[in-house]
Amino acid sequence: MVKYLIFSIILAHFSELSAQNLYALHSVWDDDVKQWEIQCEEGDIGGEVEMAWRLRNDFTEWNYRLEGKRGTIKQKWDNNPNKWELRSGDVIVSISTIWTNDFSSFRIEDGNSSIKIERTNFLNDPIEWSIVNEDNGRFTWYNEFEFDLRDWIIIDELPQEYSLELRFAAVFITVLNAIVNQK
């Protein structure tokens, strides 16, 4: 009986860890967008993402830590920003534009789930993004302060069948494109 009780407690603990939702993304420095903090719950820093090659100012490769997992996000091919890949352990998330060189909508896939995301307001205005089909839950992110790309609020009400890596990849690629296109 004690074994079953201990097993139940451990199982409950691990299910709570995997039931994280994204809450916010904030740049660490006011004058630099090469390092970000990821919040998974209000007030809880769940991880960070930073440019892999900071001195070269290379926006094509990033390292991240999220809820105890480490991974990379890379542009899949040189000189082609339409296709990216997030890798963490045995998880691979594919990120691609729906239409070549149109960075207003993306398809994100992890082998189990697929989502399509797009800008919800004006096509030239990167301040708000959302999942296209909200039948499975709301997933939206926007600037905390209007037109300030350093701070983003995330409303993540997707079911847990959508991996945290898939959701993070969706937010990351849109924030990155907003920043790169602003420079």
| pLDDT tens readout for residues 58-71 | 899 999 999 999 99
Which architecture does CATH list for 22-182?
Beta Barrel (2.40)
* pLDDT tens-place string over residues 14-37: 334 445 889 888 888 877 888 899
Tokens linked to 54: 């900071």
Per the prediction, the chain carries an average pLDDT of 84
Q: How far apart are CA 174 and CA 183, in angstroms?
A: 15
* Domain regions of the chain by residue span: 22-182
pLDDT of residue 4: 44
Q: DSSP code of 158?
A: -
pLDDT of residue 2: 47
pLDDT class for 124, splitting at 50, 70, 90?
A: low
**Above 70 in pLDDT, residue 38?**
yes
pLDDT of residue 178: 85
The strand pairing partners of 85, in sequence order, are 74, 94
- What is the value of pTM for the model shown? 0.83
**Above 50 in pLDDT, residue 3?**
no
- Least confident stretch, 1-10, 76-85, 150-159, 164-173: 1-10
Q: How far apart are CA 93 and CA 156, in angstroms?
A: 18
Express as a percent the part of the chain with pLDDT over 70. Answer: 84
**Above 60 in pLDDT, residue 9?**
no
